Structure 1
Amino acid sequence: MRASSGSAFDFVAVLAWAIPLVLAACAVLIPGEIEYPVLLLASLAALTALSYRHLRLRRALAREAEGLSRSVEALEAAEGLAGIGRWCIELEPRRHLWSEEMCRLAGLEPGTAPTRQTLLKIMPDGLHQLETTLCAHGADRESYAVEFELEHGSSGCRVLRARAQNSFSPEGQREQVFMVVRDVTEEYSLHQDRERAIERAKQAERQANTDPLTGIANRRAIMGELDRRIIWARDTGEPLSIIVFDIDHFKTVNDRHGHITGDRVIAEVAKIASGQTREDDEVGRIGGEEFLWIMPGCDGPSALRAAERLRWAIEAGTHGAPLPPVTISAGHAEMRNGDSALVLFARADEALYEAKRKGRNRVSQAA
């Protein structure tokens, strides 16, 4: 229907222009009394043709405006459903323009203009954040992310995230910044909750793996580390040694000085032992006054020297502290082919008791 109506309209317009031309030709070719009426009719026909063209143009513009209006309404409806606002910043002179959805995101009355006073009210700190980021991306040709805070009229501080795109003049001067904005406060809240949950889980794991008295690995954690190091040594072919040690005559310390002092002695021994470890070593409390030191990449002779240094450090360190002086006995063992964690530990533990049988305050090597 539109095509036939337009064709008919075009036909009428052609006639409206053709008639005055014919009449004007007649007036020239047939001079006399008909000249004036013919010219008058020609003028009226020309005016009619102009009116037709004007009417047609108005109808075309009306159709385009109606279509554009529907498109804008659909865009605004889509923005509202998606919670996305549009914000344009014209730089010279500075002027802000935004869509209706931005008013909702900011908790403002519909139709509120983004004057500087309004922006300073809802973004006392966020406006500086926004302008700092825009300044940092002043030469960017690609889109970039912007985040800032604003004070919502009813729900307090909100976090907004935008995807921004600069617009440049032919001379390369940045003229506008166009942003598509959405509220990500809930995402931040979920992210923070997730981070807190992860941190709580890590703390729980640390607590589950840490001896509360000494702050070093507990039996569960140190034996698990020994299992992992056994596998590592098998895979790499690197040596692995362990040292098992405990405090000599610790029951006497408790009986003479009390369990509180005994706990302080255990904590001091753990502190001294931790100070003797290398970067990849791990030391843990097996239970009571007994400890395990895992030494990856360390062979038997090196483990013997390390155990002797530890024995001397604990004897010297506790003598200089406001605590009862103590010594340790230690047994060390290097991993052999086929050793499991329990077998390697049992060999070092047997060496420890061999040191005790020989008089304590000494180091013995596993058979």
Structure 2
Amino acid sequence: MGKSVYALVWPTATGLAYYAAAVTALALTKGQDGIATVWPSSGVLVAALLLCRREAWPIQLIAAAVASLVANLGLGNSVGASLGFTLANVAESFICAWLLMRNNAERPFSARSADIAAFFLMASLSSFVSASLASLFAPNQSPVFWFSWFSTDLLGILLVTPLILTVGWSVKRGRLLPRHQTIGQIAGMFALVVAVAAFTFSQSKFPLLFLPMLTILAAVFRLGVLGAAGGVLIVAIVSSAAITMHSGPEALIDADPMTRSLFLQFYLLSLFAASLPIAVLLGARRRLVNQISENIRLLQLAETVANVGHWRLDLTTQAISWSPEVFKIHGMHDASPPAYDAAIDAYHPDDQGFVQAKLADAIDHHRGFEFRARIVRPCGQIRYVFSRGEFDGGTSDRPLGLFGVIQDITTQVAYEEKLREAAELAAQAADQAQILAETDQLTGIANRRRVTVFLEKAIADAQSSNGTLSIAVLDIDHFKAINDRYGHMAGDQVICRVATDASRQLRSDDMLGRIGGEEFVIVFPHADAYIAMMIAERVRKAVEASHSNPSVTISTGVAQWARGETSDSLLRRADDALYAAKRAGRNVLRLSAKPHRILFDGRIAENTA
């Protein structure tokens, strides 16, 4: 009976959420023929289907169908139209979720642009089918009705589905908040989006539609996909509410309400199309950092300098002719150009020999040249120049010579230096991000990812050197009671204190990491079970002897690695020993017996703890 009741909880929640989203959308703003600007119910159902097992889809669809039918009847539609619209709505969500699951694109927020394109394409396809079905039951069939339905449902899927999926997957992973973010920071960022959107759509005097985009981009850089989906959804809600009050920049459009509503939908789609890819591409930051040097080189090749001067050297008379721009580059007044030797002397003393050699090579071999060098202006200012030219074979009325162009690239050189500095800073930031990604933010010790990598390496070293290795898994006793009695802040302090006390008892080669809420693991390289037990006992005593309030104890399970054993089986044996310590009354250690036999693939054939 309990399972059957529990099985109805999520479909009921889906139906209520579907109905609430539908009623809210219709209450905020109504377009022509009762179609809302955004239909979030479609996104609610798509996300619900993707988050549940395939076996639960029928009851989820039934719950949503009932909610849709009630909402349509409440709107005043006829029974026939309500049934038709319900069929269109439910079929749309089913098709979208089915296509995403079938193409393994149910998580379209990775760093691959193809996944985003697939999500958008499948949402568009399902909205197309829904709009076509709805048009068959519409009292007033028209292309405007079809397009309005299509864009409204497409917006609902694009805006709501990513937000619910992001939160749902975070809950399943046990981490609701984005990494390195707090509830206060998230609330503050979304409050900023609300404030700017409210300001933008509370007036109809100025076209300020660009302002929400700025705040959404800020939310994207801070919160990633959550910022993109949540920010655009907030703008959609605020702008929809503004429609009912005949407010907002779209009111400046000289058109009927339906056209304004379609414009707003296009605007929201533009926000989504601009923000979500940025959020996803931030995940590929490291790859972009690695490409920055190549991009800089290509940028330098493509960039041109506006002020370009030309010059010519007469090889017969050694006379030089300059265009006015050459005089400007040299910082000289427009007058007679200097002689050849004086022109060479205008270059920096360290560059004069190099420039002269380049020109002499071009003259001797009748070929082109190019070089970068420094010139010193009469005022002492140093400018960087780039010169390129070719040998001029001459004609009957023009003697042999060298013809070239010269560009002042001082700004470009400074820009290149800044780009190099930026690349170095970006590389440093990437290194810092790697460190943060491997550190538990509460305690400052290694997190699960770093401990897993360390344990795998330690097993490989022990395997190759025929060495020893042990681990200990420890858990704070009665931690839930501490949270309930003293609060979560005190619980966090207890976790930090245990981490500190444990770290002080370890050897320099040992690694302590936090792998769960109040659960830790210690890796003891080059240590058998006896040594591991001694160190783990020191840790237990240190935690027990702490005089901080509230006082706590720990239970510990120790396991020694057996040759050929995998990290998963080693952790599992240590975890079994931990639960044996819990059953023994807590605040004790238990050692897992070695497995009798390890299969070729690392599985334990016989194991006792």
TM-score bucket of the superposed structures, by smaller chain: 0.5 to 0.7
Q: Among 421, 424, 434, which residue is 1:195 paired with?
A: 424
Counterpart of 1:228 in structure 2 is: 457
CA RMSD of superposed structures (Å): 3.1
Q: How many residues align?
A: 216
1:346 aligns with 2:597: no
Counterparts of 1:203-214 in structure 2 under 5 Å? 203-214=432-443
Q: Among 511, 515, 537, which residue is 1:286 paired with?
A: 515
- TM-score (normalised: structure 1): 0.53
Counterparts of 1:99-114 in structure 2 under 5 Å? 101-103=375-377, 111-112=378-379, 114=380
- Distance in 2 between the 1:77 and 1:185 partners? 26
Runs of 4+ in 1 over 6 A off after TM superposition: none
Counterparts of 1:1-367 in structure 2 under 5 Å? 66=318, 75=355, 82-85=371-374, 101-103=375-377, 111-112=378-379, 114=380, 185-317=414-546, 320-321=547-548, 323-367=549-593
Q: Cα offset for 1:261?
A: 0.5
- Distance in 2 between the 1:236 and 1:189 partners? 49
Query: Deviation string for 1:59-113 (max 9, x for gaps)?
Result: xxxx99959x76886836969963323xxxxxxxxxxxxxxx133xxxxxxx34x
Query: Deviation string for 1:213-244 (max 9, x for gaps)?
Result: 11111122212221121112112222111110
- Distance in 2 between the 1:343 and 1:362 partners? 22
Counterpart of 1:55 in structure 2 is: none
CA contact (8 A) 2:555 2:578 kept: yes
Query: Deviation string for 1:247-268 (max 9, x for gaps)?
Result: 0111111111111101110111
What's the secondary structure of 2:581's corresponding residue?
A: helix
Structure holding more helix per residue: 2
Cα gap change, 1:301 to 1:231, in 2 (>3 Å): same
Q: Cα offset for 1:189?
A: 2.2
Q: Cα offset for 1:188?
A: 3.6
What's the secondary structure of 2:523's corresponding residue?
A: strand
The share of aligned pairs that are identical, in percent, is 42
- Distance in 1 between the 2:493 and 2:570 partners? 30
Query: Deviation string for 1:18-68 (max 9, x for gaps)?
Result: xxxxxxxxxxxxxxxxxxxxxxxxxxxxxxxxxxxxxxxxxxxxx99959x
- Distance in 1 between the 2:316 and 2:505 partners? 83
- Distance in 1 between the 2:585 and 2:457 partners? 34
Cα gap change, 1:270 to 1:81, in 2 (>3 Å): same
Q: 2:572 corresponds to which letter in structure 1?
A: A
Q: Determine which structure has more spread, i.e. the larger CA radius of gyration.
A: 1
Counterpart of 1:51 in structure 2 is: none
- Distance in 1 between the 2:469 and 2:578 partners? 18
Q: 2:506 corresponds to which letter in structure 1?
A: T
- Distance in 2 between the 1:186 and 1:82 partners? 19
Q: Which has the higher contact order (CA 8 A, sep 6+)?
A: 1
Query: Deviation string for 1:263-283 (max 9, x for gaps)?
Result: 110111111112222222211
Cα gap change, 1:66 to 1:204, in 2 (>3 Å): closer
Cα gap change, 1:289 to 1:102, in 2 (>3 Å): same
- Distance in 2 between the 1:264 and 1:351 partners? 26
What's the secondary structure of 1:83's corresponding residue?
A: strand
Structure holding more strand per residue: 1
- Distance in 1 between the 2:542 and 2:560 partners? 22
Q: Cα offset for 1:208?
A: 1.9
CA contact (8 A) 2:463 2:564 kept: no
